[in-house]
Chains A and B, each alone.
Chain A
Amino acid sequence: MKTGPATATNGQPTRPTRGLEELDASSRDLTLHNGARASVPVPEGKEAKISTEDLRVYFGKTRVLHGVNLAVVKGAVTAIIGPSGCGKSTYLRCLNRMHEITPGARVEGRILLDDQDIHGSWIDPVLVRRRVGMVFQKPNPFPTMSIRENVLAGITLNGLRATDTDGVVERRLRQVALWDEVKDNLGRSGSSLSGGQQQRLCIARALALEPEVLLMDEPCSALDPIATARVEELIHELKESYTIVIVTHNMQQAGRVADYTAFFYMGELVEFDRTDVIFTQPKESRTEDYITGRFG
């Protein structure tokens, strides 16, 4: 995984995050760890599914996220963009407590899932990960399992029982538009599928656990344009029922799939706004330079 920039400083964010000035009707006011005041803007008429407040993340002594205040809007797609090492994957992995699996990793600040702190002592991280599923960059179906077993893997490994496993398999494979392609060969190995099919199988596997949030870490970077278009189409359909956060290097993809876009740079959230605003009229010159290709 990306561990943030080697040059990351432990300095305070120098500027507040820009964007959403006109939309933060329901922003939540915060007092940061250093006593400063901040707010997490929530677009008007929307609800935050996840809120990160003053989120600081460390690998050993190196701080890679410097206090991120961001609301992930319920039932919408939020894209996180930024150069390699800006902390976007680290941020994503914090949202379902996967970050803490990395040795030496530490998280400060709060992450609220439906207003509940996911680091609360009474919270089981496994349950958090069931509610907040993840799809990775490289399609990773379990190689020794069949297509059918892959779909059910999350349920089986969590010790859960589904009463109608055939129904679960068909429903989830239909949901990711894979059913017609594989229905006659459900016993085939998951790794016999094409890259794009494997990725959709992994999404079906994540959906079988009925998560509320789906985190996607560059889900299309290993796929060809047609397979990418299928996954993007799927994202459009899924946002009806799920909250989606997608990390992507492909800015056109952020433009195509995301309702909101957050630009991260050097461990800071620089700007957050509606995607069309970010791509036509960003407020911060760092955002402008990055999205127009004027960096470095």
Chain B
Amino acid sequence: MQKHTDREYESELETLRERVLLMGATVEQLIGAALDAFERRDVALAQQTIENDDQIDHLEVEIDRLCLRILALRQPVASDLRFITMSLKLVTDLERSGDLAVNVSERVVELGSFPSMPAHELICRMGSLAQGMLRDALDAFVTGDALKAQAVAERDNSVDALYEQLFPELGAIMRADPESVESATRLQSIGKYVERLADHATNIAEMVVFMVRGQDVRHGFEVARVGRR
């Protein structure tokens, strides 16, 4: 795409893009660390992850301000408008993803050390799928690749399928050993957080499709054009 005739406007859009990317990368890192802490039962890493969430909150506020400023002063249209409005929405999903990484870490701290079990492995598999979805959604955002984004949204089903396996798995453990209820319910929570992470990655992917093509693919709708009645 050509550059803006107004170089200051161009640089404002570039700054916004950089901030969104930085926030995305920071969230990715935080999720990676939280899942790593869970996989390795690393309480110290989990504790550190909880403290690192602040940076994401700051970026969310900064991006919101940038978007409002551009909307008020530049009256963006077409692809610029879609980029800015999607950035505004995207940061909410990124911020929530960061919070979920913190929630995972909190449960890891509470769990401390616990015995190896199939449910743990199952959640680790869900985690690596969700992490891959977020990474690809953000890559699609950077490169403006609607096809890649659409493929991400389709991968949510496999995370959901694993999540459904988790319930009977944990139920069996709790029935067999009532002592394990405390750790099993925490594992269940972590499973839920990871499942939600995949949902947020899906939302981001759907926003990327809209940003690139102007096509709304949420909730199974495929509305070809904006506002078409």
Whether chain B is bound by chain A comes out as yes
Residues of A at under 8 Å CB distance from B? 22, 251-252, 255, 274, 276-277, 279-282, 287-289, 291-296
B77's partner among A22, A292, A295, A296 (CB-CB below 8 A) is A292
Nearest CB in chain B: distance from A291 CB, A: 5
Known: A252-B75, A292-B77, A292-B78. Contact between A281 and B2, CB under 8 A? Answer: no
Inter-subunit contact A280/B5 (CB<8 Å): no
Contacts of A288 in B (CB 8 A): 78-79
13 more CB-based (< 8 A) A-B contacts, given A277-B227, A282-B78: A22-B224, A279-B78, A279-B81, A280-B214, A280-B226, A280-B227, A288-B79, A292-B77, A292-B78, A293-B5, A293-B6, A294-B4, A294-B5
- Name which residue of chain A comes closest to B3, CB basis: A294
B interface residues, how many (CB within 8 angstroms): 21
> Once bound together, how far apart are the Cα atoms of A125 and B65, in whole Å?
56
The B interface is mostly helix, strand or loop, or mixed, namely loop
Known: A280-B82, A282-B78, A288-B79. Contact between A293 and B4, CB under 8 A? Answer: yes
Report 17 cross-chain contacts, Cβ distance below 8 Å, ordered by A residue. Answer: A22-B225, A252-B75, A276-B227, A277-B226, A277-B228, A279-B78, A280-B78, A280-B226, A281-B78, A281-B225, A282-B78, A291-B78, A293-B9, A294-B4, A294-B5, A295-B2, A296-B5
Nearest CB in chain A: distance from B171 CB, A: 49
> Once bound together, how far apart are the Cα atoms of A281 and B214, in whole Å?
6
Contacts of A281 in B (CB 8 A): 78, 82, 214, 225-226
Contacts of B79 in A (CB 8 A): 288, 292
Contacts of A289 in B (CB 8 A): 2
Nearest CB in chain B: distance from A14 CB, A: 19
Contacts of B77 in A (CB 8 A): 251, 255, 279-280, 291-292
Contacts of A280 in B (CB 8 A): 77-78, 81-82, 214, 226-227
